[in-house]
A = this chain, B = another copy of it.
Amino acid sequence: MKLEAINLKDKFSKFTRHWSPRVIAEMNDYQFKLVKVEGEFVWHDHPDTDEVFIVVEGTLNIEFREGTVTLNSGEMFVIPKGVEHKPSANTECKIMLVEPKGVVNTGDSDSELTAENDVWV
């Protein structure tokens, strides 16, 4: 066991690409991933799992078919499995995702925004 804190700010400083999740920790078969987002993502869902968004810095909008949730720094939201959503951010926003290992960022929607999975930082 490495006796060292995982510092979110430090981890965020190590990459710049948007919509490209970087794994920073694993708990059982779940992963904690940092993502920098800006602009609009694609509509998608994750048929097999819930997904947690935690906003670390900035403002994130999550559009659902039934309405939109806006998350600011220090706020989080659980997206239930199978529920279509489209994240977006007017300016760069830093978020942490929590979800089972193996979840692809665009879910069941193939897209040019589909990112390589399980990339650590």
Contacts and interface: CB of A to CB of B under 8 A. Distances in A.
Interface string A1-45: 101111111000000000000001111101010000000000000
A74 interface: yes
Contacts of A50: 26-28
Contact of A77 (B6, B56, B64): B6
A41 B18 CA distance: 40
Interface residues of A, number: 39
A108 interface: no
Interface of A: 1, 3-9, 24-28, 30, 32, 49-52, 56, 64, 66-72, 74-78, 80-81, 83, 98-100
7 contacts: A3-B68, A3-B69, A26-B78, A27-B52, A27-B98, A28-B100, A30-B30
